Amino acid sequence: MYPMIRRSSVPTTRSLMDSIFEDDWGLAPIFGSLLREATPEIKTSVVASDKDYRIDIVIPGLDKEDIDIEVNDTAIAISYEAKKESDNIMSYKSFHRSWSLPKNTDPQSINAEYNQGILSVVIPKPDAETPITHRIEIT
């Protein structure tokens, strides 16, 4: 028969450190709302239809000049950076997100509109790939 081993009830250093960082020290009701306001979640929606993809991003309070959309052969990146100062209070907002594009997407066919705080980007789906064949003459 094996002897019974009792675990010590003395907390380990690791458990003490974990409890320090996991505890909100009763400040969540006071500072929790401030932290949520300081780092708001950007609402983003991506919807596919038969003929296109649509990206909607809710970003009120910006000028369309603050928004940057870059497209290359493989991806689209949407970002903004806004700095405002009033009554000695400065605020700064920024966002950056990118998505992969389907193969053969024509960057010139992508449209964007910013209306009432919602950025809508429409990406037409590319036509089905048709194989390109070339006949090579032997000389």
Instruction: Identify whether 24 is part of a domain.
Output: no
Q: What is the CATH number of the domain that holds 88?
A: 2.60.40.790
Domain assignment of residue 63, given as a range: 41-124
At residue 38, φ and ψ (nearest 5 deg) are -70, -30
Instruction: Identify whether 103 is part of a domain.
Output: yes
CB 102 within 8 A of CB 44: no
Beta strands 67-71 and 43-48 are unpaired
CB 78 within 8 A of CB 119: yes
DSSP code at position 17: H
Q: In whole angstroms, what is the distance from residue 39 CA to residue 88 CA?
A: 21
55 C-beta neighbours (distance < 10 Å), count: 20
Instruction: Identify whether 17 is part of a domain.
Output: no
Instruction: Identify whether 133 is part of a domain.
Output: no
Q: In whole angstroms, what is the distance from residue 118 CA to residue 19 CA?
A: 42
Q: How many domains does the chain have?
A: 1
Q: Identify the burial level of 118 via C-beta atoms within 10 angstroms of its C-beta, where 0-12 means exposed, 13-18 middle and 19 or more buried.
A: middle
Instruction: Identify whether 20 is part of a domain.
Output: no
pTM of the model: 0.61
pLDDT tens for residues 62-98?
A: 888 989 999 988 899 999 988 888 888 887 888 899 9
Instruction: Identify whether 63 is part of a domain.
Output: yes
Percent of residues, the chain, with pLDDT higher than 90? 29
pLDDT tens for residues 29-52?
A: 555 555 444 445 789 999 999 899
